[in-house]
Amino acid sequence: MMKLGLSGKILVIVVILIILFSGYVILKRVPVSHGSIPPVVSPHTVTATSQPAGSNDGSGWIYPRSANDKQLWGIKNGIIVGIPDSAMDYSPGGAWAPGLLRMGWTDDAGRSHFFNYIGISILAKSLKYDASESEKIQFYPDSLTFHTDLEKLMQVKGEAGSEADDYLDLAKNPPVPLVQATTVSDDKLAVLFRLSEFKNTRSLIYLIVEIDRNKPREIKISSYNPLKGTGEPEYIGLSATYGNLGRLRDLYLKDRVVNAHDLFKSEGAGIGCFYPYHSFKLGELPVDADGIIVRAGNDEEGSWKGDLGSNAPYYSGEKFFQYWRKYTGSYRDDLLARVNGRENYFGGFVNPCEGKEITGGVSFENFEMAEHYYPGQTFWFGYAYGRNST
């Protein structure tokens, strides 16, 4: 097989074949100016059809404490992450969207409010591609000891023998009981998710999700692909895949705001009614005291209600932002922020173009950061009230 030279490597970077719902698409970088960055606004209140998240020990931490508890992990008055059949598994986007992490926030009563999904995609160096949603990948909570024990095993046995295969096999080495899957300290909560096998790359990756009490509105997600021989990834992508729910249209870059209407105005929707990805390089991304942070938000003024009925979030006038972050020392020169768009809600893989029209027109559906994969690669995802508050 022909090996890629330098130009080929660059091409792989530029032609990243990742679109979480419908296949591959050519990346484009288009500089757009959309006025100045708006000033800080006051905290935003979101009301939604809510589900009790539960916290019974006074610590504020939310996690399964019995085999019958909902599969939710988070913190009171902060962020929460769930997997299918969790308390956030309700319309819009409940049982019909497997293969995704559910993201939400909790109120002071510990109730969860859904606001986005995070999907996982893999682009192997062989150019084989996988997406967690389209393959209905399953998430299996496990203890952090899975990671430490695997590291020790690989140091002794390597990946060539059957020991590593057996250790990663969900049937031969099943996850610990749900009540043992969470690691909690005074300031941090962590859970490891083993994923079922991706069909094209044959990858058996796992994620470690962490929440820091001192940064309650964000999660840290670290990715691991322990067996290189199963399809060494060029990228393991994490994408906030349901930006249309919040009608995200403003992307806050280093010196300008990019609006979805301007970004896609000269383009037509392509495969699956997606507008193509646009990418923005490291030098275009905002820097704060902690590193790189890229926010996306709604561009509508005043109160508004979501399009999908009583279960959709209601935004009552004050700005709510979603963001991706890389802290100082955790990013490299190839870091990108990426968005694509839709003007109607995704109607499923059979009829992707037949969803409800989005009020106000095109908005960002997938919102993400990307960089070449390395073991333990980490991104932070969160929400913010007002542009400068996290």
> Residue 59 has what pLDDT?
86
Number of domains into which the chain is organized: 1
In a domain, 1, yes or no: no
Number of residues that make up the chain:
390
Q: Is 193 part of a structural domain of the chain?
A: yes
Q: Can you tell me the distance from the alpha carbon of 314 to that of 192, in angstroms, rounded to the nearest whole number?
A: 32
Sole residue written with tokens 């988070």 = 74
Unique residue bearing structure tokens 């909790």: 106
Tally of CB atoms within 10 A around 10 = 11
Range of the domain at 210: 6-385
CA 82 to CA 297: how far, in whole Å? 22
pLDDT, residue 154, reads 87
Nearest to 235 by CA among 169, 271, 279, 276: 279
Quick check: is 315 in a domain?
yes
Classify residue 255: in a domain, yes or no. Answer: yes
* Chain-centre distance for alpha carbon 31: 25
Q: Are 390 and 217 in contact (CB under 8 A)?
A: yes
Position 316 scores a pLDDT of 64
Specify if 390 maps to a domain: no
Residue 36 lies in a domain: yes
- Whether residue 314 contacts residue 46, with contact meaning beta carbons closer than 8 Å, is answered with yes
Task: Say if 350 falls within a structural domain.
Answer: yes
Note the pLDDT of residue 87: 53
Contacts for 380 with CB less than 8 Å, ≥ 6 apart: 218, 219, 220, 221, 324, 325, 326, 327
Cα separation, 342 vs 269, whole angstroms: 7
Within a 10 A sphere around the Cβ of 39, how many other Cβ atoms? 8
8 Å CB contact between 370 and 235: yes
DSSP label at residue 269:
-
Q: How confident is the model at residue 96, as a pLDDT?
A: 55
231 Rama sector, left if φ>0, alpha if ψ -120 to 50, beta otherwise? left
Cβ contacts of 326 within 8 Å, gap of 6 or more: 291, 292, 335, 369, 378, 379, 380
- Show the tokens assigned to 139: 């998430």
- Per-10-residue mean pLDDT, the chain, length 390: 40 36 32 30 30 64 92 94 68 61 86 89 91 93 96 84 88 96 94 95 94 97 83 89 94 97 94 96 96 95 78 68 96 96 90 91 97 95 72
Domain assignment of residue 311, yes or no: yes
